[in-house]
Structure 1
Amino acid sequence: MARGKLDDRDVRILRVLEKDARNSFAEIARDIGVSIDTVTKRYRKMLGMGVLKRTSILLDPRALGVETIASLELEIDYSRVDELVERIRGLPRIVFCTPSLGRKDIFAIVFLESVEELSRINFQLKGLEGVREVKSSIWIEDHMLCPENFDLSKVVA
C-alpha cells in the first residue's frame, strides 16, 4: 500500500467503519474475509497516512428539530475574509463556514427551524460590512456530509 494510495481492501475496511466505527477488528475481518492482523495493520497504516483522523458520531439534524438545511455562498471584500469567516462562524444556526475559491469567497451550511429563518439569516449576513452578495440554496434531501454519502472510488486508486 503506497503512501496516499488505498486499494480495494482498504476501501472495504473504511466502508465497514463508516457504517459503524464501533466494529471490532475481528468483526471487520470477518465481514471482509481477511485476518484480524490484516485489518489491524491496515487500520494503523491509514491512521499514519492521515486517511483516518478519529471516530465520531453522526447526528440526525431532523431529530434535533432542524426542518431546513441550506448552503450559503457569500461574495465579500476578500481583504476581510478571515474576519468575516470568524463572525459568520459565531452566528446562531451556522454549523459550518469556510473560505472558498471560485465564484464565491465563503461557503457555509446552516441548520434552520423554518424557511422563514433563512430569510432572516440572509438579511443579517447582507448587513455585515464587507459582504457584497449572499446566495442560498435549500437542500431538498438531507444527505449529510459523511463518508457513506461520498463516492470514494473518485478519490482512491
Structure 2
Amino acid sequence: MASHKLDSLDRKILEMVAEDARVPFLEVARACDVSGAAIHQRIAKLRAMGVLKGSQFIIDPEAIGYETCAYIGLYLKDPESFDDVVEKLRNIPEVTECHYTTGGFDMFIKIYARNNHHLLNIIHDRLQPLGLSRSETIVSFNAVIDRQLPIPEAELEEEEGEEE
C-alpha cells in the first residue's frame, strides 16, 4: 500500500481526531491556527486518500455481556475455499476481525463470546462446519495496550523516500 505524504497540519489534525473523534472541527481549527473551513477540507482530503476511515463509537464488549475474547487460528481443509469461508464468517456476528496470515494458520480471527461455554458453541457449531481441519484458540484475559498508531514525523517519511 502506498504511503501518503502528510504535512504538519495533517499530522496535527490526525493526532487530535485519533485522541477524540468527536472533537469539534472548530476546536481543531483553533488548535491548528487555521479556519474551520480549512479543517473541513483537510478532513475530506484525508478521507479521500483513505488515511481516515470514518469515525465510530466503540462499544465495550464486556459491558454488553461478552466476557470472553479469543483469537483463533484456522486451518482449512481446502485452502482454496478462503473466499467462501470469509463470507460465512461475516455471518457470525461474534467474529469481529479476520486476517489472512503467514505462518501455519490459513486465517486468524478475533471473536467475542458471552462466556467459555458460548465460545465452545461458536467453535463447535459455527466454525467447524466451515471446512476446518482444525483450529487453535487463545483466550485473552485483558488488552493491556489498545491504541492508535503514532503519526509519522516528516523526517522519517523523507528518509524512507530517499532509500527507494
**Which bracket does the TM-score occupy, shorter chain normalised?**
0.7 to 0.9
**Structure 2 residue aligned with 1:136:** 137
Q: What letter corresponds to residue 70 of structure 2 in structure 1? A: A
Point out the more displaced range, 50-59 or 35-44.
35-44
3-state SS in 2 of match to 1:74: strand
3-state SS in 1 of match to 2:129: coil
CA-atom RMSD in angstroms:
2.8
**Structure 1 residue aligned with 2:21:** 21
Question: In 1, distance between residues paired with 2:139 and 2:8?
Answer: 35
**Structure 2 residue aligned with 1:152:** 150
Point out the more displaced range, 130-139 or 13-22.
13-22
**Structure 1 residue aligned with 2:54:** 54
Mapping 1:1-150, distance limit 5 Å: 4-30=4-30, 32-36=31-35, 37-76=37-76, 77-98=78-99, 100-103=100-103, 104-124=105-125, 127-128=128-129, 130-142=131-143, 149-150=147-148
Question: In 2, distance between residues paired with 1:126 and 1:47?
Answer: 35
**Structure 1 residue aligned with 2:161:** none
3-state SS in 2 of match to 1:120: helix
3-state SS in 1 of match to 2:88: helix
Q: What letter corresponds to residue 96 of structure 1 in structure 2? A: E
Question: In 1, distance between residues paired with 2:34 and 2:152?
Answer: 27
Give the conservation status (yes or no) of the 8 Å contact 2:95–2:109.
yes
Using the size of structure 1 for normalisation, the TM-score is 0.76
CA distance change for structure 1 residues 129 and 44 in 2, over 3 Å: closer, same or farther?
closer
Structure 1 unpaired stretches of 5+: none
Question: In 1, distance between residues paired with 2:132 and 2:152?
Answer: 34
Using the size of structure 2 for normalisation, the TM-score is 0.74
Percent identity for Structure 1 against Structure 2: 27
CA distance change for structure 1 residues 75 and 109 in 2, over 3 Å: closer, same or farther?
same
Structure 2 unpaired stretches of 5+: 158-164
| Count of residue pairs brought into register by the alignment | 150
Q: What letter corresponds to residue 51 of structure 1 in structure 2? A: V
